[in-house]
Amino acid sequence: MDADKTWDVNISTSREWALLLILAGIQFTHILDFMIMMPLGPQLTQAFSISDAKFGLLVSAYTFAAGASGLLASLYIDRFERRRLLLVLYFLFAVATLACGLAPTYETLMGARVAAGLFGGILSAMIQTIVADVVPFARRGKAMGVIMTSFSVSTVMGVPLGLFVAAHSSWHTPFFGIAGISFVLVVAAIYVIPTLQGHLHARGETGPLQGIAQVLRDPNHLIAFCFSFCMIFAGFSIIPYITIYMQANAGLSPSDIPLIYLAGGAATLFSAQIIGKLSDKIGKLKMLQIIATIAIIPMALITQTEGMSKIAILIITTCFFVFVSGRMIPGMAMVSAAGNPKNRGTFMTLNSSMQSAAMGLAALVGGHLIERNVEGLIENYWLCSVIAIVFNVIAMLIARQIKVYR
């Protein structure tokens, strides 16, 4: 295809790194806000006396709201300067997260989660769009690796610290912490993120519906959307119920759960950088195929850890974090280059909606597949592994059809 297009924003290498770090920080709070719900599952189900299925709905509410906001944002995202739009959305996300911490009931928490999803659901798309606008494709694997370290940092420090604080105070406290960090990052982003408006000149006077139509008429975009959906669905068929299964079936205590996230996050902190660099060196598609193939092993094992030792469980869960999240580095580098640059924001926002829908549907499917027996043990979790592996393989096959702008 045409040469990969990055808009000339005249930033130095050091400024580029500062930009990536701020974007990674924003991604960190956004991911942590979503992830902290899953290990808090046992506390929330007890605090509100709700079923596992209702907890799954609480997780899905965020992602469905994020998907809906992404569809709405696709009407306007390429019609505004990127920096200003990101700052406004991120500030509102911080306010919604604060509201989560203040929620006194299940219903008010559900409402706050919906609000957080509405404002935060577009952040990943905005971040990936800005990276694609600024960083050339040849370096984008490494740049995505930096952004993906936000996942690692959230699991290494954010989730364990959040669980520790929640265990010694209440489940409300982690949300207060996330909101506080977010407000600080809003101020930092004002000074670091450059003005990005090259796309405004490139798209001309195209109306919002016309912009969406242009994105949806491109077969390559549709292929990329299907790829994203399958990648996310594979992971989130399993992820939301790991904590509940590990405590109910594998015999881990609540104090053991942070070790899972600490070990997995620490490993991905290093593996993300390696995968990003190798993606640029040997090719994004080849690296995706390697990582996604290896990921099948921990996908199959993580739902079969009942009766295993704590060390064996930590090895399996760590491999799960490394390879399941590792797929997304070359995968998202490919997706970010699959969109036409003049409609990149619309494309990435629709892609984010597709991913949010995949998260929500996967969490709902998993919540209805698993059930508890009379002894309180989780049953049928292995079916989530089967679904995850099937969608992972489908994603690998679809990836071969994606064409990138380079």
Question: Residue 60's pLDDT is what?
Answer: 77
**Two structure tokens written together for 312:** 């064996």
Best CA proximity match to 299, nearest among 316, 314, 287: 316
Residues 6+ apart with CB under 8 A from 124: 27, 30, 352, 355
CB burial of residue 358 (10 Å; 0-12, 13-18, 19+): buried
pTM: 0.72
Question: Residue 267's pLDDT is what?
Answer: 87
Angle at 286 between CA 329 and CA 156, to 5 degrees: 30
Phi-psi category of residue 220: left, alpha or beta, with phi > 0 → left and psi -120 to 50 → alpha: alpha
What pLDDT tens digit does each residue of the chain (406 aa) get? 444 444 445 555 667 778 888 888 898 888 888 777 766 777 787 788 777 777 778 877 887 787 788 777 777 676 777 788 889 999 999 999 999 988 888 889 899 999 998 888 788 778 877 877 777 766 767 777 777 777 667 656 666 666 677 667 777 888 898 999 999 999 998 888 877 665 445 555 555 667 678 888 889 999 999 999 999 999 989 987 888 889 888 888 877 887 887 888 788 878 888 998 898 889 899 999 999 999 999 999 999 999 899 999 999 999 998 999 899 889 988 888 887 777 777 787 788 778 878 887 887 888 888 888 888 888 899 999 999 999 999 999 999 999 876 5
pLDDT tens, position by position, 346-401: 787 788 778 878 887 887 888 888 888 888 888 899 999 999 999 999 999 999 99
Question: Residue 347's pLDDT is what?
Answer: 83
Which residues lie across from 371 on neighbouring strands?
A: 379
User: In Å, how far from its chain's centre is CA 297?
Assistant: 21
For residues 320 and 264, the answer to whether their CB atoms sit within 8 Å is: yes
Biggest alpha carbon distance in the chain? 64
Q: Does domain 13-399 have CATH number 3.30.420.10?
A: no
Question: Residue 158's pLDDT is what?
Answer: 66
DSSP run (H or E) holding 243: helix 242-248
In the chain, domain spans: 13-399
Distance CA 17, CA 152 (A): 18
For residues 341 and 405, the answer to whether their CB atoms sit within 8 Å is: yes
Angle at 3 between CA 208 and CA 8, to 5 degrees: 70
For residues 140 and 110, the answer to whether their CB atoms sit within 8 Å is: no
pLDDT tens, position by position, 303-328: 999 989 999 999 999 999 899 989 98
Question: Residue 123's pLDDT is what?
Answer: 84
Residue type, 359: M
Taking CA atoms, 13 is separated from 59, 109, 141, in Å, by 39, 42, 16
For residues 338 and 221, the answer to whether their CB atoms sit within 8 Å is: yes
Distance CA 366, CA 237 (A): 6
